[in-house]
Structure 1
Amino acid sequence: MALFIMILRKMINNKWLELSLLFGLVLSVALASSMPIYTSAILQRLLIQEMQQLQLGSNQYPGIYWLSASFSAQEKQPKHVTIAETEQFLKGKEGRFGIPVQSFVRERATQRYNLTPAEPDKIDVNVQRSADISAIDGMESHIRLVDGRLPAKEPVNGVYEALVAPEALTELGMVLNTVFIIKDAGLQEPISIKPVGVFDRKDYTDIFWYNNTSSYKNSFLIDFQLFEKAFTVDGKLNVQSSYWYFALDYKLLTLASADGFLYNDEAINTYMDTHYENHNKNVPALQTLTNYYVKEANLRKMLWSLNVPVMLMLAFYLYMVANLITERQKTEIAVLRSRGASRWQIVLSYAVEGVVLGAIAYGVGPYIGESITSLLGASSGFLEFVQRAKLETALNQDAFLYALIAISASLVMTIIPVILATRVTIVGHKQQSARLQKQSFWHKFFLDIAIIGISLYGLQNYKTRVKDILSLGLKSGDLRVDPLLFLIPAMFIFGLGLLVLRLYPLFMKLLYRIGKRWWPPTVYTTLIQVSRSIIQYQFIMVFLIITIATGLFSASATRTINQNTTDKIRYSAGSDIVMQIHWENDAPPAILFGAEESSDDSSSEEASSDDAAVTPPPKVQYSEPSFLPFTQLPGVEHAAKVFVKNDASFTKGKTNAKVELMGIDTKAFGETAWLRDHLLDHHIYEYLNLIAKNPSAVLISKSVAEEYGVQVGDTLSVGWGNLEPASVTVFGIINYWPSWNPNPGAGDTISVTTKQGTTTKVKKPMLIVGHLTYIQNNIGIEPYEVWMKLKPEASSQAVYQAVIKHGYDIESLTDAKQAQIIAVKDPFQLAINGVMTLGFIISVVVCFFGFLLYWVLSLSARTLQFGIFRAMGVSVFQLIGMLIGEQVMVSGAAILIGMMTGNIASHLFVPLFELSFDPSTQVPPFQVTFDPRDHERLYAIVTVMITIGLVVLGHIVSRIRIHQAVKLGED
């Protein structure tokens, strides 16, 4: 106990250093614990969003858990016993889904029987009618009567009364109160059934209903209890199916409860497999939940990789503070060693200090990490925040586990300087104090060169990988963002910063020699101080270098990823909205045409000896809808007709090849389409103007020119199917065009026969762009796409509604704006934006405290020197000037080196993110993006940090008293 009290007293005596160390530990724990909290929070948000999207897309409630079972003739026990056991089992599982069950619905159905009218003279007997008798428990409170009345709960004069859906009246060709008789060889006695009412759902948003009412068009629905008594138990009719439906509150589904949900689902599956030969289920949330385990693992790996630079920064900070504490106590450690204390006793005493601080950090850090998570959710870019719904955060077991790991790793970092210090005796310590250290540890063992070499090796490997993917048309898979893409740049930044610091002393000596005859005393003194003490300044310089360089790299990486994601979406769509409208035509039904085609095929096989030709499909005549309304829709700035034929072909001499044909109106297309600048050799307007004056002029892709030797001025024949081709003239060659992907896909290969055998060759996509009117007049008229460019504040939903209001049927739709919104909400995109921003903010905060702590301690150690300067007549302003000069040569130089390092790292490593976007589909090509606003924010933050630090240091210098300094020198 006495030893523990002594350790606490020692910590109190060094309270500022200990508080600085505690600050670093708390930040480390907060950052580590925020990872699982953020992972759960962002995936939880996305889970609910995907559930809601599922409901919008399929018009089906996402909380469905629906089971069905069919009974076979070989049942070992009565059906009502089997059903009762199943329902008892399901009731037991109801509370184990992990989320509330809003309703539990039971449904039964008999097999389908033929119906015979009881009064043939009142109904058409020639109509074949068949139906089943069904029952849904509790449906009475969820329906409204369209016609008739509710059925009786018991047979009336031997007739079962029933409800029917509106569609059943048409399907069965009947009216209400018509009695039908069910006769079957296997029945004990005929069953009479009479529809007495027509029902519909009371509320179409009611989750009680699993099916639409139209699914009961061949069903009579009777009272559930009556069904159970007459058919399930007594067996008057054969009960063929039983259905059970849980309506779960999916909005309360969390990743924490997902395990219970999946385990419960597996238990139900096992039971159903054991008791039923034929059974089915429908659980829309199941696939989403299964995919989320993969997403969670990927996102967790992503967060670790994104936080690598910040973790390195915190580790460096902890080591620096622990080293400062140890440096101030080296004399004490050496004395203890000389008086018989073992190394491990000394290390243990410092370890106890670390445990005390670690316990405090462990208790506080996870809660700060939870607060940090809310900051992550509001980030939409580097140092950019938006008003977004707050992330639902909650501390979980993983958060405290991560916190414990962070504390353990941090304590190891703080103990290392102590272990090194205990190796020196009092004599060795005095010898080291009297000698000038010439090289730091990392420079002595060339760690800077080794780290740069490793990072450049990784850079080359990634470049080779990207090149192979592009040239072979392969897919990079769903890599999202490879963790090494963040680790390698962090290593490069650290290594290059150390390398420049290796050369910096030489620059200082050169600067000193150049102006040693002219430097004023203050500058001369500053140069001497910095050049002789460059080793002790390296910690703070590395700090600043890593902060600035990491900030620049983070800004460039985040901006580049966001911009290229947006560019890819816009290029792939071609314009803001692209839709295909239904055109009236005389095409035969697909089934009939398929039958004719198959009969033609068989006849051609029989006549193959006579070289009989297969009858070509008939030419379809289309009726083009009016295009004018599209140009007048609210919110639409421009609209264009764009005809795209993927299976067209062109002929040049004896060469015939497949090609994608695009027909456009040059003026409207130029006003509507989107293409990133500098993709083409000239602006897209110049290409459009080039072909505008000649109706038969076309542009061809570079792949056509290279593969078949087509040049500007050549004449080609272009067409498709059995239509007469048209003659066109090549006016230009292009590499890219809106919506067209020039990169080969995984299946774009052809077999080439050579002398060495058959080999597979990658075939690049090909494109020909011509005039729509020329194509329509000379080849044929087929449906085209409608491309629309919206006004800046226009609503996509308003455009959809206006199109439908004009009577158009939308067959396909691509909305680039909505796709961008979805992309921004992607968990990986959110992780990059949030963690990059958070990492830089933490780095700046840590760097500020490290900067301030270092210089305060440095000035404290040099109080005697400043006192002597004041005694020699140096004014306070001259002292502050010396301090500013020292800051320029140390902090200013570190900032410049950080800027240089960050820009080099961005240009070298940010292009590697192309691999994570699947280069074969990343069109336009990946482009590194720098936004001046990011640099302005970064420099503003650093300037504020340095300014505050200088004000504090200036205040300290101004308070130095000569007599105190002299007395300190005497002590």
Structure 2
Amino acid sequence: MALWIMMIRKMAKNKWLELSLLLGLVISVGLSSSMPIYTSAILQRLLIKDLEILQTNTLQYSGIFWTSVYASDQDPANTVKKLRQSDTYMTEKAQPGFQLPIKTFVTERSTDRYKMVPADPSRIDPGVNRSVDVVSLSGMEEHAVLKDGVWPKNQSDPGVYEVLVVEDALSNLKLVVGNEFIVSDEEQLKQPVRFKVVGVIDRKSYDDLYWYNYLSSYRSSFLIPYDIFDKDFMEDGVLRVRSTVWYTAFDYTQMSLDSISRFITSYQRTEGFLGELFENTSMKAPAMQTLGGYYAKEAKLRLMLWSLNVPVMIMLAYYLFMVSNLITERQKTEIAVLRSRGASRLQIVLSYLMEGFLLGIAALAAGPFLGLMLTKMLGSSNGFLEFVQRSALKVQLSGEAYQYGLIAVICSMVTTILPVLFATRTTIVGHKQQMARQHKPSFWHKYYVDIVLVGISLYGLQSFRRRMADLQSLGLDASDLQIDPLLFLVPALFVLGCAFLILRIYPLLVRLIYAAGRRWWPPSLYSTLLQVGRSASQYQAIMVFLSVTLATGMFSASAARTINKNAMEKIMYTNGADIAMQIKWEDDAPPPGMGDEGDGAAADGGDSPAPSVLPAPKKKVQFSEPPFLPLTQLPGVEQAAKVFLKKDAAFSIGKDSGNALLMGIDTDAFGQTAWLRNGLLDHHFNEYLNLLGSNPSAVLISRTLADQYHLKPGDHINTGWRGVQSAMFNIYGIVDYWPSWNPNPNFSDKSAVSSPTGGAAGKNGKVSKVKYPMLIVGNLPYIQNNLALEPYDVWMKLKPEATSQQLYQALEDKQIPVTKLDDAKQMLIRAKNDPFLMAINGVMTLGFLISITISFCGFLLYWILSLSGRVLQFGILRAMGISFRQLLSMLIGEQLMTSGAAIAMGVLLGGTASRLFVPMFQLSLQSQSQVPPFQVTFDPRDQLQLFIIVGFMLLLGLFILGSMLSRIKIHQAVKLGED
């Protein structure tokens, strides 16, 4: 009990230090616990979104669980027994195993197919071959509507079963309502069975999930009430029951990550159960193809979160070590006295462990709730230090969050106990000796940890560069977004190592400045230089704090901005403009399968050898161009352009020929509509368009085409396509990039690798086996007049305030027949909602804010303690005649030489780390196929935000320190010195 009381008194004596330590622990626990919370929340959102997209793409509800069995058993009684067992399993085990709300459940049974003959051949054509099965669906009456006739009676007439049919069955079976049919099969039936068609049904609602099949699938079926079917066919065996379908539609919007394993397990168990009973089973659940990959996504996202948080974790660990070291430094005398009076090292360490245990419990209680708040911040991030109004993530605390928090507490306690372990090794005599030796090097410098960290980071940088060179030389590409954890760890080690390395040199620089002007420095600056030069080790913690925080912030800003901007530019470049769509053109082409599929004339310029057998000439299709003006007048459209694209257009140069993408444009409209990043071409984009517009027959060709066929401006090229006579064009320019055209080969396409003699010439003069895409850009009017008028795409540039929904509604209202539409804005929104990009933006923003918070706390804590420890020095200076203004100028000068120098170091290290390491993200972002090329981005707004935040922190800190300095009383300082 006495030990607890002593510990509590000691914590109360150092309450500000203990509160600072508790703050660091709470942030550590909150950050750690936010990882599983965010992973679950974002994957939950992604899961529902993917299932919605799956439903849109397949036009099939994603919550379907469909199971079908076909009984090949010759014993009808045994078949019925197995079906009854399956009914019980589906309702009592299979469905409850999914633990999802059920929107609808249908059991469908059907008989063998029997030949029906009319009961009255005089009224019905007996020559029609009618083969029908009898089908029953549970609950059908609630989901169907009568189109003709009446509903069947609950009790069938003796020997006559009343049935329903769908509309397609009337024409397929050549029957009308009121017809009667007889099934007579001497081998299978004891007596003939009569059926009477009493009604025709249709769906009550076409968006009803009950109808998993089109009604046309029942075009050869008689539909009978479920109760009658169950009693007469299942129990009494009037007709043989052959197959059963169990169809369940779950509410997939209620699925969570826990539902994935239950869904897969229930699916597999049902498959195994039915497979033991029936030889022929079939199962279908569209969600299975989506659910299967979520464990891999979860592992990758969890790894990414740890990787992104590595710099912050290092910062928090350093903060906890610093605060714990400050606490230990203030209590070293007490520790030394206890050691001299017989206390063992274990007893002292246990007392501090008890203190850490109390703080850890408090942090574990508050940290996970902080993690919830941090997760919400991650969900609303849209860029570095950018937040948007986005639908909130469904976050909740879980046992895993508390497990992560507990691990963080244990690791933090280990970090905070290290200074105590070092302190318990010192006796009272050794402690006094250490107090007299102020110039002792720090642990980092003594054991050259700074040089080791820089060496490791430079080795990592070299490894990244080597891997990137291998990818480029081998033509490899990333198959998915895979973040290498070292991409975040290595830059953090580089920044930390360089900060300590600079601080190894910085004291020497201060002493050099002091020695250079020691005869001319004013007293305030003289004292400042002397204080900083002699006690440089005291300032290392705060200087490293500030420099690493600012450098990490700059690196995070550059990395996030680069990733976001390159993703945006890739979408815009690939799409070519804000909107790229195709409009349906009227033509006189015959229906598919009726026209002649001859090859037509070859567009080879007349130099290719004639084929031995000429195919039959193909009729040239005539197209009717729809009006273009209404498209330019759609609401929200700023500019529209016609863009004709012909893939694999044939070209010839002398005796050489090949295929390329032919693009026809109107230069003026195209220049105002298309998107292209500045700096990709040798000259401005508009200069090439002006060059193209100077001559109707002018074309621009790609660098790949020019290099392979040794072409230059002024040469001629013949171009056309199948069924069209080629025309001659004049080459006016060569381009490396062009909107929507990818100059990189597609290595997943086998045709991208050509024979050794058919590739492009490399830089060393040898021939490469890689087949590069080629491009020819010409004037659209010239192509239409000299080649053919064929459908073109329409590119649109939208006004800044325009919305996609506004355009879609206008297209629908004006009944414009759009066959394809690519919307870059919607693609950008989907990219922003990608969980990996959200994690990058959110975690980097969160990491910087946390670093700023703990740096501010560390800054104030350090300088307040430093000021408190130098009260006697300031009192003596005031007694010697130093005015308060001069004293304040000394403090400001000390801040500039420490905190100011740390900020300069941070700016230098942040810019250097960004230029060295941000390009390495190409290894993880599919950047070998990135068009336009990957480019490191610095936004002055990000740096301005950083400087504003850090500047506010320094000004607030100086204000607090100045206020404390103004309260110092000379007589109290002198009295303190006498004591």
TM over 0.5: yes
Decide which moves more: 241-250 or 796-805.
796-805
2:753 is matched by which residue type in structure 1?
A: T
Aligned residue in 2 for 1:400: 402
CA contact 1:473–1:762 (8 Å) conserved in 2:
no
Q: Normalization by structure 1: what TM-score? A: 0.94
Aligned residue in 1 for 2:528: 526
Distance 2:523 2:675 in 1: 63
Q: 1:622 to 1:260 in 2, by over 3 A?
A: same
**Counterpart pick for 2:897 among 885, 889, 899:** 889
Aligned residue in 2 for 1:602: none
**Are 2:833 and 1:825 aligned?**
yes
Cα deviations by residue, 1:318-366 (Å, 9 ceiling, x for unpaired)? 0001111111111222222233333222222222211121121112211
1:751 is matched by which residue type in structure 2?
A: S
CA contact 2:24–2:854 (8 Å) conserved in 1:
yes
**Counterpart pick for 1:241 among 243, 261, 265:** 243
CA contact 1:79–1:232 (8 Å) conserved in 2:
no
**Are 2:540 and 1:538 aligned?**
yes
Q: 1:110 to 1:614 in 2, by over 3 A?
A: farther
Aligned residue in 1 for 2:756: 752
Distance 1:471 1:690 in 2: 35
1:966 is matched by which residue type in structure 2?
A: V
**Counterpart pick for 1:498 among 472, 497, 500:** 500
Cα deviations by residue, 1:589-632 (Å, 9 ceiling, x for unpaired)? 545669x789xxxxxxxxxxx96566576544433333332222
**Are 2:13 and 1:26 aligned?**
no
The equivalences for 1:138-157 within 5 A come to: 138-156=139-157
Instruction: Count the aligned residue pairs.
Output: 956
Distance 2:774 2:539 in 1: 60
**Counterpart pick for 1:444 among 432, 443, 446:** 446
Aligned residue in 2 for 1:3: 3
Aligned residue in 1 for 2:45: 45
**Once the 2 structures are TM-superposed, how far is the Cα of residue 835 of structure 1 from its aligned partner?**
0.9
Report the 3-state secondary structure (helix = DSSP H, G, I; strand = E; otherwise coil) of the residue aligned with 2:282: strand
Aligned residue in 2 for 1:60: 60
CA contact 1:42–1:827 (8 Å) conserved in 2:
yes
Aligned residue in 1 for 2:90: 90
1:262 is matched by which residue type in structure 2?
A: I
Distance 2:598 2:786 in 1: 28
**Counterpart pick for 2:433 among 431, 434, 450:** 431
Distance 2:383 2:210 in 1: 43
Aligned residue in 1 for 2:671: 670
Q: 1:487 to 1:615 in 2, by over 3 A?
A: farther
Q: Normalization by structure 2: what TM-score? A: 0.93
Report the 3-state secondary structure (helix = DSSP H, G, I; strand = E; otherwise coil) of the residue aligned with 1:894: helix
The equivalences for 1:237-386 within 5 A come to: 237-386=239-388
2:96 is matched by which residue type in structure 1?
A: G
Q: 1:272 to 1:793 in 2, by over 3 A?
A: farther
Cα deviations by residue, 1:171-216 (Å, 9 ceiling, x for unpaired)? 4443322334445564414433333223233233333332333433
**Are 2:812 and 1:810 aligned?**
no
**Are 2:81 and 1:81 aligned?**
yes
Report the 3-state secondary structure (helix = DSSP H, G, I; strand = E; otherwise coil) of the residue aligned with 1:682: coil
Q: Percent same amino acid at aligned positions?
A: 56
**Are 2:108 and 1:107 aligned?**
yes
CA contact 2:41–2:394 (8 Å) conserved in 1:
yes
**Counterpart pick for 2:860 among 825, 836, 852:** 852
Report the 3-state secondary structure (helix = DSSP H, G, I; strand = E; otherwise coil) of the residue aligned with 1:651: strand
Q: 1:183 to 1:919 in 2, by over 3 A?
A: farther
Report the 3-state secondary structure (helix = DSSP H, G, I; strand = E; otherwise coil) of the residue aligned with 1:200: strand
Report the 3-state secondary structure (helix = DSSP H, G, I; strand = E; otherwise coil) of the residue aligned with 2:153: coil
**Once the 2 structures are TM-superposed, how far is the Cα of residue 525 of structure 1 from its aligned partner?**
0.8
Distance 2:634 2:874 in 1: 76
**Are 2:888 and 1:880 aligned?**
yes
**Once the 2 structures are TM-superposed, how far is the Cα of residue 698 of structure 1 from its aligned partner?**
0.6
Q: 1:695 to 1:180 in 2, by over 3 A?
A: farther
**Are 2:873 and 1:871 aligned?**
no
Cα deviations by residue, 1:64-118 (Å, 9 ceiling, x for unpaired)? 1111112214569622211110011112222221222233221112344444444
Distance 2:666 2:175 in 1: 56
Decide which moves more: 484-493 or 1-10.
1-10
Q: 1:586 to 1:111 in 2, by over 3 A?
A: farther
1:666 is matched by which residue type in structure 2?
A: T
Distance 2:587 2:125 in 1: 37
CA contact 1:469–1:919 (8 Å) conserved in 2:
no
Distance 1:588 1:760 in 2: 44
2:512 is matched by which residue type in structure 1?
A: L
**Counterpart pick for 1:508 among 505, 510, 516:** 510
Q: 1:635 to 1:185 in 2, by over 3 A?
A: farther
1:882 is matched by which residue type in structure 2?
A: M
**Are 2:930 and 1:926 aligned?**
no
Q: 1:116 to 1:689 in 2, by over 3 A?
A: farther
Decide which moves more: 510-519 or 638-647.
510-519
CA contact 1:581–1:810 (8 Å) conserved in 2:
yes
Distance 2:66 2:186 in 1: 33
Distance 1:129 1:625 in 2: 49
Distance 1:613 1:231 in 2: 65
Distance 1:470 1:119 in 2: 80
**Once the 2 structures are TM-superposed, how far is the Cα of residue 309 of structure 1 from its aligned partner?**
0.7
**Are 2:470 and 1:474 aligned?**
no
Distance 1:130 1:620 in 2: 44
**Counterpart pick for 1:579 among 557, 578, 581:** 581
Cα deviations by residue, 1:729-779 (Å, 9 ceiling, x for unpaired)? 11000011111111111132112169xxx9971121111111222222223
Report the 3-state secondary structure (helix = DSSP H, G, I; strand = E; otherwise coil) of the residue aligned with 1:482: coil
**Once the 2 structures are TM-superposed, how far is the Cα of residue 124 of structure 1 from its aligned partner?**
5.3
Cα deviations by residue, 1:280-336 (Å, 9 ceiling, x for unpaired)? 222122222222211111110110011111101100000001111111111222222
Aligned residue in 2 for 1:733: 734
CA contact 1:123–1:174 (8 Å) conserved in 2:
yes
Report the 3-state secondary structure (helix = DSSP H, G, I; strand = E; otherwise coil) of the residue aligned with 1:762: coil
Aligned residue in 2 for 1:601: none
CA contact 2:757–2:769 (8 Å) conserved in 1:
no
CA contact 1:98–1:253 (8 Å) conserved in 2:
no
Q: 1:808 to 1:173 in 2, by over 3 A?
A: farther
Q: 1:75 to 1:812 in 2, by over 3 A?
A: farther
Aligned residue in 1 for 2:953: 945
1:580 is matched by which residue type in structure 2?
A: Q
CA contact 2:76–2:241 (8 Å) conserved in 1:
no
Aligned residue in 2 for 1:464: 466
Report the 3-state secondary structure (helix = DSSP H, G, I; strand = E; otherwise coil) of the residue aligned with 2:928: coil
Decide which moves more: 342-351 or 267-276.
342-351
Decide which moves more: 678-687 or 275-284.
275-284
Report the 3-state secondary structure (helix = DSSP H, G, I; strand = E; otherwise coil) of the residue aligned with 1:78: helix
Distance 1:160 1:448 in 2: 91
**Once the 2 structures are TM-superposed, how far is the Cα of residue 824 of structure 1 from its aligned partner?**
0.8
1:784 is matched by which residue type in structure 2?
A: Y
Distance 2:803 2:188 in 1: 62
2:666 is matched by which residue type in structure 1?
A: D
Aligned residue in 1 for 2:606: none
Distance 2:633 2:180 in 1: 57
Distance 1:482 1:76 in 2: 61
Q: 1:418 to 1:57 in 2, by over 3 A?
A: same
Distance 1:565 1:750 in 2: 30
Aligned residue in 2 for 1:742: 743
Decide which moves more: 422-431 or 120-129.
120-129
Distance 1:874 1:315 in 2: 40
Distance 1:394 1:680 in 2: 51
Decide which moves more: 510-519 or 16-25.
510-519
The equivalences for 1:57-206 within 5 A come to: 57-74=57-74, 78-93=78-93, 94-123=95-124, 128-156=129-157, 158-184=159-185, 186-188=187-189, 189-206=191-208
**Once the 2 structures are TM-superposed, how far is the Cα of residue 170 of structure 1 from its aligned partner?**
3.9
Distance 1:946 1:182 in 2: 95
2:60 is matched by which residue type in structure 1?
A: Q
Decide which moves more: 527-536 or 310-319.
527-536
CA contact 1:375–1:834 (8 Å) conserved in 2:
yes
